[in-house]
Structure 1
Amino acid sequence: MRAVSETGYRVNAAARDLRQRRARSILILAPNLSNTFFSRIFAAVQEEASAAGLTVQISDSRIGRDRILSLGHDGRADGIVLLDGGLEPEVVNGWQLPLIQLSEWNDAYVAPHLGIDNHAAASLAVEHLAELGHHSVMHVSGPKHNVLAVARRDGFLAESAKRAMEPSVFSGDFTLEAGAEAARRWARLPVLDRPTGVFCASDECAFGFISESVHMGYTVPGDVSVIGFDDIDFADRFLPALTTIHQPRAEMGRIAAKRVIDMIRCLHREGLGPSEDPTQSIEASLVVRSSTGPASRGRDAVT
């Protein structure tokens, strides 16, 4: 210790981490960084990582196969939070890093999954429309092969059948334009054939549907009730305020970060390792606002 004091020695953390092959960093991979859904997740992962002395890198998962292939082998991260279930399984399984699937999932990935029950959450939306007296309902779905979109569509159809409702599905995606196109298609239907309740696969899609409906002279929820999915930050500030399925994104981000950190510590023998079940579900909830109301016009009002 006298030698340390006399020489002014300081631990070189970078050299130590290099020797231990540690980056002290978590990588978040998401399919579209501009998507407002991810913001609270990113912030929550950053908060937990900082508390554990780790940094966070955020990257778009659609950066190209060659760059994706190198992620698990270039020493830039100790663990990965993956928000994209559309990557090639052989690539993801070849990374050999602590990894958790968050929100989206792929059964072919050898990694735990954390997220909500999208099928059950969609049922909440249909149940709400049924309680308001809507019998003819429409779902604006997400991308055709997206695992979240499939689960939400299936939940919508299953709950509609259970309640003997008349469902229809418009294939779209999670964007504003998909919602707007669905509204134009809805408006072209004969009045008696127009669904009075619409459930969109995302909030952005619901915003597109509502704004286009208003531009065409219809009222929400007077002519049509609209429900979104996600409860993004400005859903309650939209006009009308959006009824939607709330995903606890901050909680999801915190839990995902903690589990990856536990896996990293287990790998480096700094702790006992993760104790949670490999797959974990977080409860979603319905938030009722002013974009939904009783079926008062159109087919349901007539019947």
Structure 2
Amino acid sequence: MAPKDQATIEDVARIAGVSIATVSRAVHSPERVADSTRKKVNQAILVTGYTTNAMARSLRMGRSNIILVLAPDIGDPNFSSTLIGIETEARARGHAILIGHTQNDPARAIDYLKYVTSHQAAGMILFTGRLPTGDAVSAMPLPPTVAAFEPIQDGTFPYVGVDDCAGGRKATEHLLAAGHRTIAFVGDTQMRIAYQRRRQGFDSAMDAARIPQENRIIINGDGTTASGQHAVELLFMRDQLPTAFICVNDTTAIGVMNALAARRYNVPLDFSVIGFDDVPQATYVSPPLTTIRQPRSIIGKAAISRLFDMIEKKEGAQAPTEQLIAPDLVLRGSVTSPKFSPDQ
């Protein structure tokens, strides 16, 4: 195959197992291609690096019906589920979706932005929580843009996502109602606004219950399984144990549960654990994870709807306001009352 920056339509067709004509239709007239075929072509485009070439060709045709979705990790269940809502609404309005997989690489993000701005895409949805910085980006005339799932640090764009603070508060209130008074919050960070808001919800509920600071154990983390495992090991080293863990996401919660199981502790009889997101894996761990569910499809539809309001220049649509959607508490098997009451 040619080098990545010289990928050809033949490369895409060969990897997708379709004809060159089918690739062309998938790029230029996606509504004429079966969903399964279009997905194979899109995956081949990502593998070959033909994405930007395809985007440029389509946009040079003078069409302004391309919506770029810029995502740091296309394997994240939050992204894939939300994309369904975005794509459904976009196709209903005659627009096509192109996925810009940045892999948390600012250079990749800048490449996608260059194509979008130079060829006048209709709009953009950001899952990245930020745009790359620098003079090259600041000089770009960006199309209408909406942030989803992760707010932009400086509040430049409208934002659509779950009410993280309410979710953190709801999770904490559930643990408090079960009788827990010494609770660890795992995943505190300055890098993610969404996670900071979940911590705020935790503190809000603990304040309302008049739980003293010494009963709030805050552990930093980056949202990975490893960070959840590390949190447990750290607490055992400190001999500072809670009766329950509230985790910044389900991935962290699964790490916590794995580490507790490795030490032969039982969840929830010895420790309760609650997560956030409700990813598919949450139902497969033992016990199934109690968590806060993000309404991903609703968020996707709301984000694309807001973007179309901006594209159509509806009054007030450009304002960098937030649309926060209430999360749900999903009760499973990882939370119960503590072994001992606070008075024992």
Amino acid at match of 1:229: F
Amino acid at match of 2:101: D
TM-score, normalised via structure 1 length: 0.83
Instruction: Tell me the equivalent position of 2:63.
Output: 22
Residues 103-142 of structure 1: pairs in structure 2 closer than 5 A: 103-106=149-152, 108-142=154-188
Amino acid at match of 2:91: S
Residue by residue over 1:194-242, the C-alpha shift from the partner in whole angstroms, topping out at 9 and shown as x without a partner, is 1001000000110111012112101100111001001112322321111
Residue 116 of structure 1 deviates from its aligned partner by 2.0
Give the secondary structure class of the aligned counterpart of 1:177: helix
**Structure 1: which 5+ residue stretches go unaligned?**
1-12
Instruction: Tell me the equivalent position of 1:85.
Output: 129
Quote the Cα distance in structure 2 between the aligned partners of 1:236 and 1:257. 29
Residue by residue over 1:58-101, the C-alpha shift from the partner in whole angstroms, topping out at 9 and shown as x without a partner, is 12343334425514413273211111223346737944211111
Query: For residues 95 and 283 of structure 1, do their structure 2 counterparts lie closer, same or farther at Cα, with a shift above 3 Å needed?
Result: farther
Does 2:114 match 1:70?
yes
Instruction: Tell me the equivalent position of 1:174.
Output: 223
Residue 103 of structure 1 deviates from its aligned partner by 1.5
Instruction: Tell me the equivalent position of 1:283.
Output: 326
Residue 18 of structure 1 deviates from its aligned partner by 5.9
Instruction: Tell me the equivalent position of 2:335.
Output: 292
**Alpha carbons 1:102, 1:113 under 8 Å: kept:** yes
Higher relative contact order (CA 8 A, sep 6+): 1
Residue by residue over 1:110-146, the C-alpha shift from the partner in whole angstroms, topping out at 9 and shown as x without a partner, is 3211112211211111111111110100001154321
**Alpha carbons 1:210, 1:220 under 8 Å: kept:** yes
**Alpha carbons 2:310, 2:317 under 8 Å: kept:** no
Quote the Cα distance in structure 2 between the aligned partners of 1:240 and 1:182. 20
Q: May I ask how many residue pairs the two structures share in their alignment?
A: 280
Amino acid at match of 2:228: G
**Alpha carbons 2:59, 2:66 under 8 Å: kept:** no
Query: For residues 195 and 20 of structure 1, do their structure 2 counterparts lie closer, same or farther at Cα, with a shift above 3 Å needed?
Result: same
Quote the Cα distance in structure 2 between the aligned partners of 1:113 and 1:200. 23
**Alpha carbons 2:60, 2:119 under 8 Å: kept:** no
Instruction: Tell me the equivalent position of 1:185.
Output: 234
Instruction: Tell me the equivalent position of 2:278.
Output: 231
Query: For residues 286 and 195 of structure 1, do their structure 2 counterparts lie closer, same or farther at Cα, with a shift above 3 Å needed?
Result: same
Query: For residues 292 and 71 of structure 1, do their structure 2 counterparts lie closer, same or farther at Cα, with a shift above 3 Å needed?
Result: farther
Query: For residues 109 and 34 of structure 1, do their structure 2 counterparts lie closer, same or farther at Cα, with a shift above 3 Å needed?
Result: same
Quote the Cα distance in structure 1 between the aligned partners of 2:276 and 2:264. 24
Identity of counterpart residues, as a percentage? 29
Does 2:85 match 1:44?
yes
Amino acid at match of 1:101: A
**Alpha carbons 1:242, 1:291 under 8 Å: kept:** yes
**Alpha carbons 2:268, 2:334 under 8 Å: kept:** yes
Give the secondary structure class of the aligned counterpart of 2:68: strand
**Alpha carbons 2:188, 2:218 under 8 Å: kept:** no
Amino acid at match of 2:176: A
Over the aligned positions, Cα root-mean-square deviation in angstroms equals 2.6
Residue by residue over 1:239-259, the C-alpha shift from the partner in whole angstroms, topping out at 9 and shown as x without a partner, is 111111111001101111222
TM-score, normalised via structure 2 length: 0.73
Quote the Cα distance in structure 2 between the aligned partners of 1:37 and 1:229. 11
Give the secondary structure class of the aligned counterpart of 2:200: helix
Give the secondary structure class of the aligned counterpart of 2:143: coil
**Alpha carbons 2:310, 2:318 under 8 Å: kept:** no
Amino acid at match of 2:333: S
